A and B are shown apart, each in its own frame.
Chain A
């Protein structure tokens, strides 16, 4: 039903499957080895970022809420899974060391050992209360969704109930992510301060499996999650619910007079989107290997908005295209692999100039292609607006003008 109404979903899923299989066949673990493991990891991470962009498109492109703090939910998801990864992995190491002792270690000794291993770096000897469930994977997986979901719900409830809108809401979301980041930077609140959580690429119980294999597994998981998130977002935006949230984006007051509880809708979309973001983050950070409070810096969330804008907001595949193109280009340019441009009098080193290029690209897209890169898809599909040569679209002068309709 969903697919019949939205053929783009089928195309998207097919492309995603082809991409995943192609990377697998070229990987070091399962194929020819053309694609190095580090690239596989980059691609897997990019899929997670694309899912975050889909979540961003849901709140911004569809519901009109420009959240500039969405990466906070992404990072929180990463922290939640990171706690288990670090705790369980350290547990294995501590158990291995203590196994040589003449008397087998008690559970308490094991716990002490893990605590001093993890928190020695911030000078703490007690396991913080927030780590109570760190030993249990199901609990931490639940928290991956629950903690960011609850934060988004509380934040949204306060903000939407007081009818904070537009740029003020964006500023509030920035303040939220900044405050959270500063809080996490402190050493004494149980998240290891600016050290963050590290060694996340070592999956407990899979010590024997080489990273080249694990990276492929994560690529598959990321692709599956992206497909699931994309389907969920399509389902949300396809029916009457999607109709209502787009209406809220365009004219909130009118929707209220139709009898729809606008705040409830915003809160629902915001919370769901935060949870999608968190799930993406929970898969991203094990591939990145490390997470620290800098990941919650406001700039990260601004980038997310830029990806969606460049890809084309209000279209889910636009968000995916934007995130993948921009973040892959970004890692190519900043990775030092892009050949420097020699102008004779000046050598353009892309590591330094990439941001300028991105900025110019952003301006160009906003000015010349308000629909973003996804308008290229329109061109491919022949979905061009008919040439009316300036004639009115409707039967009289107050109808949309050709120029307006293009935007």
Chain B
């Protein structure tokens, strides 16, 4: 299996504190991966580096078949290259309708002049309706996103990510603030998505990770502590130390 994303030797310090310390790992083209770790392990910084929000001090982040370096690209360019990011807090555009939110996310040319010329087509309208159906918002297309519940906003954001058609999906704590039923749905969706693309879930809820039933990477103090199935890593004495031994 060739790697879709290859992170090697990445280091990032904030005022002397090493948030990421010589981190290396790979993600395959169609893989579900959970990244876990205690608070301050560098999970969010890792996501920031991959999506271009933070520049690392050292190391390389390579993307795709052509092993393109992501470090020189802007956030928008990285997003266009095919990396989607789901934030912990649902961030949708509350002042605009569900349909507008989804339409904005649809895969299409992103430049200002291309967007000025863009007109809704039958295909785009159908795609928006389909996406809304997929995330259970079919009857709320004309509602303002701000009127949705927390869980629904999470779903809308997931719908927007789907609309972007990313090859790699970075998902930050998807289960936070969701009810049990919503978690069940989310697990199913993430597993289904991972059949056609790479999905990286950052989570510290072990129970949720167990449901995902996938390869797990444990981060600690900015580097990989252990990697493997959940049972494998939870048997690792270092992991037990980090999680329980304090």
Contacts and interface: CB of A to CB of B under 8 A. Distances in A.
Interface string A254-288: 10111111101100100000000000000000000
A400 B146 contact: yes
A239 interface: yes
Interface stretch (A19-27, A110-118, A127-135, A389-397): A389-397
Given A247-B104, A250-B95, A258 B149 contact: no
A246 B93 CA distance: 9
B94 A240 contact: no
Given A257-B79, A257-B85, A246 B112 contact: no
A357 interface: no
A244 B112 CA distance: 9
A190 B159 CA distance: 58
Contacts of A394: 147-149, 152
B166 to A, nearest CB: 9
Main secondary structure, interface of A, reads: helix
A126 interface: no
A258 B74 contact: no
Q: How large is the interface on B (under 10, 10 to 19, 20 to 34, 35 or more residues)?
A: 35 or more
A264 B77 CA distance: 12
A265 B115 CA distance: 10
A103 interface: no
B22 interface: no
Given A247-B104, A400-B146, A240 B115 contact: yes
Contact of B93 (A247, A393, A399): A247
Q: How large is the interface on A (under 10, 10 to 19, 20 to 34, 35 or more residues)?
A: 20 to 34
Contacts of B77: 259
Most central of A241, A257, A260, A399 by chain B CB within 10 Å:
A257
A247 B146 CA distance: 13
B111 interface: yes
A262 B115 CA distance: 12
A236 B116 contact: yes
A405 interface: yes
A264 B91 CA distance: 22
A251 B91 contact: yes
A243 interface: yes
Nearest to B75: A256
B236 interface: no
A240 B128 CA distance: 14
Contact of B111 (A250, A264, A399, A404): A264
A246 B115 CA distance: 14
A394 B140 CA distance: 11
Interface string B112-126: 110110111000000
A377 to B, nearest CB: 19
Nearest to A258: B105
B76 interface: yes
A400 B76 CA distance: 29
Contact of A260 (B53, B103, B110, B118): B110
Contacts of B116: 236, 239, 241
B118 A240 contact: yes
B147 A400 contact: yes
B47 to A, nearest CB: 11
Contacts of A268: 112-113
A398 interface: yes
Interface string A230-254: 0000001001110110110011011
A396 B179 CA distance: 12
A352 B196 CA distance: 71
28 contacts: A239-B119, A240-B103, A240-B120, A241-B112, A243-B96, A243-B104, A244-B115, A246-B96, A247-B93, A256-B75, A257-B79, A257-B85, A258-B110, A258-B164, A259-B79, A259-B110, A259-B164, A264-B112, A268-B113, A393-B146, A393-B147, A399-B146, A399-B148, A399-B149, A400-B94, A400-B146, A404-B146, A405-B146
4 interchain residue pairs of minimum CB distance: A259-B79, A398-B150, A256-B75, A396-B149
Given A240-B104, A257-B84, A260-B76, 7 more contacts: A247-B93, A256-B74, A259-B79, A393-B147, A394-B148, A394-B149, A404-B146
